[in-house]
Amino acid sequence: MRSRLHWRRAATAAGIYASVVLGMVATVVAARVLGLEEFGHFATAFACVTFLQVLLDLTVEDVLVKQGFHYVAAGEWGRLRRLFRLALQAKLAGGVVASLLLLVFAPFADAVFGVEGIGVAVAAAALIPLAQAPANVATSVFLLRGRYDVRGAYQVVHMGTRLVAVVVAAPFGAWETLAAIALAQALATGAISVPGVRFLRAFPPAPDCVLGEDARPVLRFAALSSVGSVMVSLRTSLAPLILGLMVGPTNVGLFRIAQAPYSGVVAASAPVRLIFLTEQTRDWERGDAERVLRGIRRFVLAASGLGIALVGAGWFAMEWLVETVFGSEYAGATRAAQIVLVAAAIHLVFAWTKSFATTAGRPSATIIAHGVEAVVLLSLTIVLAHRYGIEGAAAAVVASAVAYAGTWLILFRRIERQTLTGLRA
């Protein structure tokens, strides 16, 4: 049993790390083939898609895992099926609205950013939110079955199809690449939905039944998680859009290159977050909160040492990495990438926070922390990017990461104290 658990953890890590590599390669191919100007169009349009996708998405994954484990433990299979049906409907509705708004915005995009070609790129990418909508509902089933390794495999399929799309379409231009990515997303979603349905049907059969007294807490949890996701959207996609409005889409492309090491470092912690979400939520629901808290402390100590080493090595190697991987055309992203690497180390140390908020049933903690982070990031991006360009935007990212970490230290101590007091009472 224990060897099987270790195998699943290893397979999960391998799958997610492989998907990170595939995603990075896709970015490299797009940057090199499209060139600086076209890649700027691509990055700006993709930021528009990401912003609206997350802004209008009802984040149901957290409540599916949290409430799903509760229903599994209680044997309430009818409510479990009802929960997944409602989640799928909500995700599809959000995807439809996001796709429609992108199509509405597309004719005005060139005027907004002052560059021709952004509008057609936004229109080409408009179906991505709808194509991706059902995917996370399907992958949530795997977590309830303890099969996070299957979710890791999906990540490989997802990024693998995206890489193929970029390789095939990038020689034709930015909008063609985004259209191919939308098609690849639809194929990846279809590929994961089939086993997702099979895993859900593997639970004991029972007719759908209303959530009853659970309906209001579930809706509240989903709403709070969605607000938290909006805060993340402000951090990850609105800041590049502000940068594009202030200094042009080409700088958005450079900033995306500067964020590539950051994205890689944060993605490297994804297996830990996924395993934490599954195993710690299960332990918490069984009443073993102290085990969860101990695991977080051990992770912070290990990640701190790794983060320090990463920043030290990455800082000196960054210029060589950027020019070797992306080309000398993107050398202007080097200093910003060095600065952003500090933020990456901070988020690596605090990678446990997203899953812990779900585990402890405190989605409001995510809202508070990401809210503070977003306020710091957006305000400083407006001030610093105007004066210092992408280096100023990178400094804003670091300041917001520090604010996020400080907020979570306070929140964690409060949750820990309340939890331990309740256990000893």
Q: The tokens of 252 are what?
A: 């958005």
CA 326, distance to chain mean position in Å, is: 23
What residue spans of 170-288 are helical by DSSP H? 174-201, 215-233, 239-247, 249-258, 260-268, 270-275, 281-285
C-beta neighbour count of 256 within 10 angstroms: 25
The parts of the chain modelled with pLDDT lower than 50 are 1
Cα–Cα dist 92/132, whole Å: 9
Q: What is the pTM of this model?
A: 0.75
Task: Classify 147 as helix, strand or coil.
Answer: coil
C-alpha closest to that of 264 among 165, 158, 348, 164: 348
Provide the pLDDT for residue 15. Answer: 78
CB 51 within 8 A of CB 186: no
Please return the burial class of 208, using the count of CB atoms within 10 Å of its CB with bins 0-12, 13-18 and 19+.
Answer: middle
Q: Which domain holds residue 416?
A: 2-424
pLDDT of residue 346: 92
Determine the Cα–Cα distance for residues 98 and 94; give it in Å rounded to an integer. 6
Q: Check residue 213 and report its DSSP letter.
A: G
CA distances from 425 to 24, 57, 285, 287, 293 (A): 50, 40, 18, 14, 18
Pull the structure tokens for residue 225: 């998680």
Asked whether the beta carbons of 33 and 39 are under 8 A apart, the reply is no
Give the model's pLDDT for residue 4: 66
Domain count, the chain: 1
Helix residue ranges, H only, 56-173: 61-74, 77-113, 118-124, 128-132, 135-144, 148-169
What is the spatial distance between Cα 104 and Cα 401, in angstroms, rounded to a whole number?
34
Is residue 357 within 8 Å of residue 365, measured between CB atoms?
A: yes
